[in-house]
Amino acid sequence: MRQILQDLGGGMTYLQESPSPIPNSHELAIFSSASLISAGTERMLVEFGRASLAHKALRQPEKVKMVLEKVQTDGLLATVDAVRSKLGQPLPLGYCNVGVVSAVGGEVAGFTPGDRVVSNGPHSEVVKVGKNLCARIPDAVDDESAAFTVVASIGLQGIRLAAPTLGETFVVTGTGLIGLLTVQLLRAQGCRVLAIDFDEHKLALARQFGAETCNPGRGEDPIAAGMAFSRGRGVDGVIITASTPSSDPVMQAARMSRKRGRIVLVGVTGLELNRADFYEKELSFQVSCSYGPGRYDPAYEEHGQDYPFGFVRWTEQRNFEAVLDMMADGRLDVKPLITHRFAFDSAPDAYEVLTADKKALGILLQYNPAAVDLVQRQVTLNPGIQFDSAKPVCGFIGAGNYASRMLIPAFKKAGAQFHTIVTAGGINGVIHGEKAGFAQASTDVAAMLADPDINTVAVVTRHNTHARFVVQALEAGKHVFVEKPLAITEDELGLVKDAWQRVVATSTPRHLMVGFNRRFAPQVVKMKELLGAVKEPKSFIMTMNAGAIPSEHWTQDPAVGGGRIIGEACHFIDLMRYLAGSPVVSVQARRMGNAPGVQVSEDKASITLGFADGSFGTIHYLANGAASFPKERVEVFAAGRVLQLDNFRKLKGYGWPGFGKMNLWRQDKGQEACSAAFLDAVAKGKPAPIPVDEIFEVASVTIQAAQLLRSQ
């Protein structure tokens, strides 16, 4: 199958071949028949990709601030690498898809193969989407019309927030695709509508849909037009669907509104508001969030948990259904909005039209389902690669940010042979696999694990899948490198231990490694060397200035990410275990207390470990610090001496004979050395770089610490 991608670095829009995605239990797979290019959103993305680096920076000042903060903590070179990597990741385009259901997950109800559906899937010959982001298409609605459902739902959600009533006067500022759909929806609501735009062609369509119009480009005053339209009383509401950096649309909306009028921003504008305009009239102003309730809620979109109908009448999915019903009975007519049609093969030409012709509105892509192999689970990326079975031949599961930016380059530098990269959606595997030199990309984990040519597997997926994939890979007879954590529950850890015991019982030894890279960092290696001469107990203070992550982020979900202690603080539990060189014998933990009306998460906590040799240490994992403070600080007190490491760049010794400091030009957390040690052990049959007993010990201690925090 093929999908449209946008190169954010160079600006090229192109078709990319990738393996067909496999839906999970809450998803549907869909054979595309048509999709709509969103003239506003996608034009903005394409133009952003084609802009210079300086122009990109000017358009995203908040990202520039983040970059400058990263320079302070991680160093210039690491920051440059991160920015280049981000801009080097192509972006899938599109969110207005129509097709036929080809497969459904085990927990999907209400859809069966063969159903015609709309979804927010991308421009791709095969898409997979959550069940709550799809809606069945009535027989009376053709595929081309149905392709407008998602963009119409954006306008509909803005209307729901504005709560118009029969006979009210409303202004729609900006008559692009969403604006013209909003005009029709308001008219269907029984409202009088005034449309404002600089484009006379679009205003002509607005008049065709029953609106009066105002063109500021011809010298017409929007405020005066709004007041005249409302018979001097002020309009009841304004829905802004324009995209402009100017704050004029908001200012004009305020001044033409009646007392207690409603203003809803659906588009993107400047927000330099005049308080007096809003204060004197007691105006309400609200920003609309996409298609409706459920948007950006993982429980709704990814896990299929619907909101109760009696309490949330209109969700994303129910807005889709409402739009389709209006199309079916003729109250919403999108045919006049279609300006161009392109075969999917010619999709790049469609984007040239999108950027060159500002009058382009509804640009439809037409697919040929008969030409697509739905069960194509793998594609060749770099043909003709020969593998040496005496050395590590690697399969990767996962191609997210850490895998693509850190682990895959580290494996490559260490001489790994890349066979297959597997991802759920397919496209990420193609993007990063082709660049790294993988022979093929796939969406089929089982097929990759069954391949006899692959002897080593790296697991770099979401944390709740680690244990399952580790067990499967061990049972398939592979050496396994898993990014931390090894498991997020004691039950999962037990399954891994059982699988490992079965491996140990076989005649062919295998390696199990967790990506605890910090113990391989050059400055940590130096610390270990210095501490080797100390025969008395040591004390440790390790501070992780982790920074805040939204509570709804998957890493904060105990069932998915395991929480930040299991998912991230495990690095420092392992590091302390390594530097102490002694087993953990006690675990204590304390988190910050809840403030009035505020539930504090576990990422503001301390963990104190006691070791068999009398050493002890405290890990401060804090998400409430300043970004300018070092992210990671390690301090060791021993025998009248101190070692202090900041951000894996600056190591300073106090009282150490012959050692004062060890500073690096760039941050080095040991990823490359960690990967090289593992692959060298696999290739040469050496002992594992981290003893398996220590891996299991650290996993158990980490889970225990998290449980202590959650019980408080």
- Looking at the chain, how many residues does it have? 712
Residue 60 confidence (pLDDT): 55
| pLDDT for position 474 | 96
Residue type for 619, please? I
Answer for the pair 479, 457: CB distance below 8 angstroms, yes or no.
Answer: yes
Model pLDDT, residue 174: 95
Q: Which helix (H) or strand (E) holds 173?
A: strand 169-173
pLDDT in tens, 498-507: 999 998 888 6
558 and 690 fall within a common domain = yes
Confidence of residue 553 (pLDDT cuts 50, 70, 90): confident
**Which of 371, 396, 420 is at the close of a domain?**
371
**Which pLDDT band holds residue 210 (cuts at 50, 70, 90)?**
very high
CATH code: domain of residue 179 = 3.40.50.720
33: which 2 tokens? 């028949």
Percent of the chain at pLDDT above 90? 78
Residue type, 58: L
Mean per-residue pLDDT, 354-381: 84
* DSSP conformational letter for 124: B
The CATH number assigned to the domain holding 630 equals 3.30.360.10
Q: From CA 151, how far away is CA 156, in angstroms rounded?
A: 9
Q: Work out the end-to-end distance of the chain between its first and last CA atoms, rounded to an integer number of angstroms.
A: 50
| Per-residue pLDDT tens over the stretch 638-662 | 999 999 999 999 999 999 999 999 9
Q: Is the peptide bond before 485 cis (omega within 30 degrees of 0)?
A: yes
pLDDT of residue 56: 45
Q: Supply the mean pLDDT for the chain.
A: 91
Which phi and psi angles does 513 have, rounded to 5°? -135, 135
The separation between CA 267 and the C-alpha centre of its own chain, rounded to angstroms, equals 22
Kind of pairing, strands 641-646 and 632-638? antiparallel
User: Is 9 part of any domain?
Assistant: yes
User: Looking at the domain assignment, is residue 297 inside a domain?
Assistant: no
Query: What is d(CA 316, CA 332) in angstroms, rounded to the nearest whole number?
Result: 18
DSSP string, 635-692: EEEETTEEEEEETTTEEEEES-TT--EEE-SS---SHHHHHHHHHHHHHHTPPPSS-H
- Could you tell me if 416 and 477 lie in one domain? yes
Instruction: Give the DSSP letter of residue 505.
Output: T
Q: Are 117 and 144 in contact (CB under 8 A)?
A: no
476 and 578: one domain? no
Q: Of 483, 133, 478, 153, which is closest to residue 292 (Cα–Cα)?
A: 153
State the pLDDT at residue 642. Answer: 97
Is residue 135 in some structural domain? Answer: yes
**What's the rounded Cα separation, in Å, for the pair 470 and 482?**
7
Q: Which helix (H) or strand (E) holds 618?
A: strand 616-622
Rounded-to-integer distance, Cα 255 and Cα 277, Å: 6
- Tell me: do 222 and 255 sit in the same domain: yes
The Cα 421–Cα 409 span in angstroms is 13
At 258, phi and psi to the nearest 5?
Answer: -80, 175
| C-alpha to C-alpha distance for 559 and 463, rounded to whole angstroms | 9
Do 399 and 363 reside in the same domain of the chain?
no
Q: Are residues 81 and 12 in the same domain?
A: yes
Position 222 in a domain? yes
Range name among 88-92, 121-125, 311-315 with the lowest pLDDT average: 88-92
Q: Is residue 294 part of a domain?
A: no
* 546 shares a domain with 473: no
Q: Among candidates 270, 318, 265, which has minimal Cα distance to 289?
A: 265
DSSP state of 522: H
CB 347 within 8 A of CB 15: yes
The residue type of 514 is V
Question: In this structure, what are the phi and psi dihedrals at residue 627, rounded to the nearest 5 degrees?
Answer: -65, -25
Query: What is the pLDDT at residue 75?
Result: 56
Nearest one of 520, 164, 107, 114 to 303, comparing CA atoms: 107
The pLDDT of residue 531 is above 70: yes
What does DSSP assign to residue 568? I
- Amino acid symbol at 184: Q
CA–CA separation, 710 and 66 (whole Å): 31
In the structure encoding, which two tokens stand for residue 190, read together? 């029984």
State which amino acid sits at residue 546: A
Residues 470 and 414 in one domain: yes
Structure tokens at 406: 């850190």
CA angle 315, 321, 325 (to 5 degrees): 140
Residue 260 forms part of a structural domain: yes
Report if residue 216 sits inside a domain.
yes
Which of 345, 378, 348 shows the shortest CA–CA distance to 20? 378
Please identify, among 458, 487, 514, the residue that sits at the C-terminal boundary of a domain. Answer: 514
Strands 393-397 and 417-422: what pairing? parallel
Domain check: are 421 and 559 in the same one?
Answer: no
- List, for residues 383-401, the tens digit of each pLDDT value: 989 999 999 999 999 999 8
Mark whether 12 and 25 lie in a shared domain: yes
Q: Confidence band (pLDDT; 50, 70, 90) for 82?
A: low
pLDDT of residue 87: 54
- pLDDT tens string 443-465: 999 999 999 999 999 999 999 99
Burial of 198 (0-12, 13-18, 19+ CB in 10 A): middle
DSSP-assigned beta bridge partners for residue 604:
622
Q: Is the dihedral of CA 600, 603, 605, 607 positive or negative?
A: positive
Which of the two residues, 85 and 412, has the higher pLDDT score?
412
Q: Which residue has the tokens 């028949």?
A: 33
pLDDT value of residue 678: 98
Of 83 and 419, the structure prediction assigns the larger pLDDT to 419
Do residues 579 and 656 both lie within one domain?
yes
The Cα 30–Cα 128 span in angstroms is 6
**What domain range includes position 525?**
517-710
- Lowest-confidence region among 355-364, 492-501, 670-679: 355-364
Contact (CB, 8 A) for 155 and 184 = no
Residue that finishes a domain, picked among 371, 387, 418:
371
Reported as a single tens digit per residue, the pLDDT across 583-600 is 999 999 999 987 776 666
Tokens (6 digits) for 67: 């970059």
* 293 domain residue, yes or no: no
| Angle of CA points 292, 247, 238, to nearest 5° | 50
Mean pLDDT of 25-37: 95
Please tell me whether residues 173 and 30 are part of one structural domain: no
Residue 121 DSSP SS3: coil
How far is residue 463's CA from residue 400's CA, in Å, rounded to a whole number?
Answer: 12
- The model's pLDDT over 602-614, given as tens digits with 9 standing for 90+, comes to 899 999 999 999 9
- Biggest distance spanned by C-alpha atoms of the chain: 90
Confidence check: pLDDT of 695 > 80: yes
What is the number of domains present in the chain? 4
Number of neighbouring beta carbons within 10 Å of residue 43? 19
